[in-house]
Chains A and B, each alone.
Chain A
Amino acid sequence: MRVHVNGDLREFRDGSTVAELLTEIGTTRQGVAVALEGEVVQRGRWAEIVVADGARLEILTAVQGG
């Protein structure tokens, strides 16, 4: 399946969860948050939420600013 991750279309194994996607991408777990289709996915649910083909996933972290 293909998922839009931070705007880039990427290939993943069908039926992957949010947690599996993060592992595949290699994102650090600390200080990040995930939105799936514009809704926040709480950290505790990363391992259970399955991502659909064509979904839009945003991974955000804190950077210098403001």
Chain B
Amino acid sequence: MIYPGNGHCFVGLGPEEIGDPPVAEILDYEKEIKAEYRERLGPRVDLVNPLAGTIFPNFSLLRAAGRTFRVWHPKGPDAVEIWSWNFVDKAAAPQVKEAFRLAAIRGFSPSGTFEQDDMDNWQGCSQAGRGTVSRRQKLNIQMGIGHEGFDERLNAWTSEARLSESNHREYYPRWAQLMAGTEWA
């Protein structure tokens, strides 16, 4: 996990790990464009291999199941409306665009075999958090404490763990600051 502060973050993989959906057209395409994007974006691009991420506060990207981005619209304490898009390179061949489109619909959409389960999880979390006993507790976001460090090359904080709550500890204070403050406005 890599997070530069202010609540932004992404979950990254090792440089040689594959972050794309296991679809031949997509994997071949990514190999094909690697040299070009390295040339255009410079060698620092090899420092990160993003899987999923959020630009604070409600814009998220996902690479692991097609190419999707979404905007989360809070609709009160028990509801979130999600707008999601599928994006592809304009210059990609039609069959590559189609592969990305289908990977997103079949993997990460309301019916997607990954995402349909996520909604069930979130609903379960909200229901569990609503109970009297749960409400007496503070939300625990300690995961990954003590396994974080600042990476000079990335100019960002990183966690040794791929999944941690390191960015939760940045995200919620920033959110509370913006909700309560007037100095920033």
A and B associate in one complex: no
